[in-house]
Structure 1
Amino acid sequence: MQDAVPPRPIEEVHDTVCAALGLAAIEDGFEEFDDEPVGSASIAQVHRAVQLGGSGSGEVAVKVRKRGIEPLFRQDMFALRALAAAVAWAFPDHDRRELAAYLCEAVTRELDLQQEGEAMERVR
């Protein structure tokens, strides 16, 4: 995974956020939404925004998972598990299937932005 990746086009970001939140337009949920991300990595990018008034108003960080990333990671995880199984078969003293399973679980957690958001709420 990389932590300095070019950002996705802002139109794609807006479409993704609107679809996730059930908004017709980004302005329906945010007073402000910075087009320039605070950070952009291989899985997602983060934008500063200000929610519209109400009980949930205020400055927020909006983390947007990049489109098409999940199938790519599923392929990578399949390949990693297959490689670990092949190594275990060829070199029984170097069985790394448990490590591969752990890495796949960690990547799956990293892809779950809902779980990440809930964890951040608990910390607040």
Structure 2
Amino acid sequence: MKRLIYIGLTIFGLLSLAALSISIYLMINLDSLGTKNVDSATPTYLFAFYVPSTSSRYFLDIKKGAELAAKEYNVMLSFHSIDPNDNEIQQAAVSDFNGYIVCPYNEDPILISQVVRIQ
């Protein structure tokens, strides 16, 4: 009977030692485990993307495609309304963007003058 207790305690001790060593190994290497699959590079460029504020399927597809391309090329996009009444294009001239992407949907003279101003 004592022999079974010693065998059981030995197996339990070995399993506990293995669990402790795995736990210590994971604690030491914890910093590198979370960053293997994460792209830690910061975006290279910041672009302002001006699209109409409509819920049109066409412009939603343009936004989705731009987001996919931005992710692929490590670029950050900032979406804004192109409506001339919102004055968001006027603010673009004083903003710190690396580039502007304008997707016009009409030939409004106010909009054209605002786009010419940010060139």
TM-score (norm 2): 0.25
- Relative contact order, CA 8 A, sep 6+: which one is greater? 2
